[in-house]
Amino acid sequence: MRLSKTWTAVMMLMAWMMLSVPVHARALPEFTELVAENGDAVVNISTRNKTEQSASSMLPPGIELPEGSGIDEFFKKFFDGPQGGMPMPRESESLGSGFVLSADGYILTNHHVIKDAEEIIVRFSDRTEIDAELLGSDERSDVALLKVDATDLKAVKLGDSNDLKVGEWVLAIGSPFGFDYSATAGIVSALGRSLPSDSYVPFIQTDVAINPGNSGGPLFNLDGEVVGINSQIYSRTGGFMGVSFAIPIDTVMNVVAQIKSQGYVSRGWLGVVIQDVTRELAESFGLEKPKGALVSRVVADSPASRAGFKAGDVILEFDGREVETSSDLPPIVGRTLVGKQANVIVMRDNKRKTIKVTIEELPEDEELAATGTKPGRFVAENLSMEVAEIRPEQRDKLEVKKGGVAVMKVEQGPAMMAGIRPGDVILSINNVDVNDAHHFVEITKDLPTNKPVPVLIQRAGQSQFLALKLGK
């Protein structure tokens, strides 16, 4: 009995001691092995590019040549030579990072690191320098694939960016400000981030310190696998402010596969202008919660218009993949094979509807793809003029709330005779309101001949009618 009481007391004492010992926080990750294992696979990228510069532009800052005094002509002759303004070649350089994709010499970096380069030099950790060949690059995803004549290179291991989770540790290796093979660490701050200028890339947002020179370098997970390419930062000062973005490695490898197979990158195009679904809009469209991509406009002569999409459709699913927010849709469509027929589930009139659409290739000019204009703009041949869509950011400046087309070019013909000028906005023609550029061209095809028709234009903020007359 006494032994039992003693044992009980001992157990209580041990329990109290265990509870009294402070609980230590989980240790921070150890990066030394990761850096040692992968440092040799990270490279420095430098480029040389010859640009033309007028010698007179090389005057010291703050010195201006007064016009009409004769002094400016003297300096032009002195600096630019007897012909005045003869361009002088100037060699410029850029610096960035990259990494070895495979042992046989394939190397990845950013498009903006090698853009317009005449010579690309890859420097390895042992200071060996090799000239690289540019196999291809893609400006939209900011990915470039290089090739050097080398074998048995130390290459990185590739991970799966789809497995990333917000809050997990990641590490970047690169050359910020020219300091070779610098390592910085942080966590994944957000996934699937869409930036205004890069809607086809679902960026990985991190708080890893990224500075000029880091661009093109790898982003590693704790398993030593590359999950992204460091691409850009958000900054109001030009320096790192705690927000950086990396291109997911699955997006990168899709670009690499296309460059290797066809030498360029093509993307799927649907042809809709979309916006987020707010709580109020969700209720009005019969949705239980805000979800999907709301179609605010269907681009004329696009896959979406041919498939029967309408403004007001809420895209909930595209080709078997759910669309949670509007930013989810462009990357999904962009990675869809050109020519593929995709099933799209939309909410229309409070009912779910499936639409079949054949995906086409995204035009080279993304702005044209968004507005529906074709390369070369829309041409109204019988009026001898060219028009284009009014971009959303232009409407406030032009004071045009909806519809209308911008006049881009006017040649000798009926439009010029009527007094229409480049820069005018055509709001209606023959008493028919103009919806967009495609609609304008269709209206002009049915205009009567030898009979004046009214054209409502807006010029310098003022509306006025002009009389347009077609000949036989």
As a three-state string, the secondary structure of 313-326 is CEEEEECCEECCCH
In terms of phi and psi (left: phi > 0; alpha: psi -120 to 50; beta: otherwise), the region of 189 is alpha
Could you please report the per-residue DSSP string of 382-438? GGTEEEEPPPHHHHHHHT--S--EEEEEE-TTHHHHHT--TT-EEEEETTEE--SHH
The answer to whether 389 and 408 are in contact (CB under 8 A) is: no
**For residue 139, with 0-12 CB atoms within 10 Å meaning exposed, 13-18 middle and 19 or more buried, which class applies?**
middle
438 is catalytic: no
The answer to whether 38 and 170 are in contact (CB under 8 A) is: no
Task: Return d(Cα 130, Cα 119) in angstroms, integer.
Answer: 11
Which of helix, strand or coil describes residue 22? coil
The answer to whether 387 and 411 are in contact (CB under 8 A) is: no
| Catalytic-role residue among 54, 104, 112, 194 | 112
Which of helix, strand or coil describes residue 369? helix
Task: Return d(Cα 429, Cα 438) in angstroms, integer.
Answer: 14
112 is catalytic: yes
Task: Return d(Cα 203, Cα 249) in angstroms, integer.
Answer: 10
Sequence-distant (6+) residues with CB within 8 A of 25 are none
The answer to whether 219 and 170 are in contact (CB under 8 A) is: yes
| Catalytic-role residue among 80, 94, 137, 142 | 142
Sequence-distant (6+) residues with CB within 8 A of 339 are 358, 359, 360
Long-range CB pairs of 186-192 (<8 Å, 24+ gap) are: 188/164, 189/243, 190/166, 191/164, 191/166, 192/327, 192/328
The answer to whether 63 and 72 are in contact (CB under 8 A) is: no
| Catalytic-role residue among 46, 182, 215, 244 | 215
For residue 57, what is the DSSP state?
G
Measured CA angle at 95 (ends 94, 97), to 5 deg: 145
Task: Return d(Cα 258, Cα 252) in angstroms, integer.
Answer: 10
The answer to whether 48 and 117 are in contact (CB under 8 A) is: yes
Sequence-distant (6+) residues with CB within 8 A of 307 are 344, 355, 356, 357, 358
Q: How many CB atoms are closer than 10 A to CB 422?
A: 12
142 is catalytic: yes
Catalytic residues: 112, 142, 215
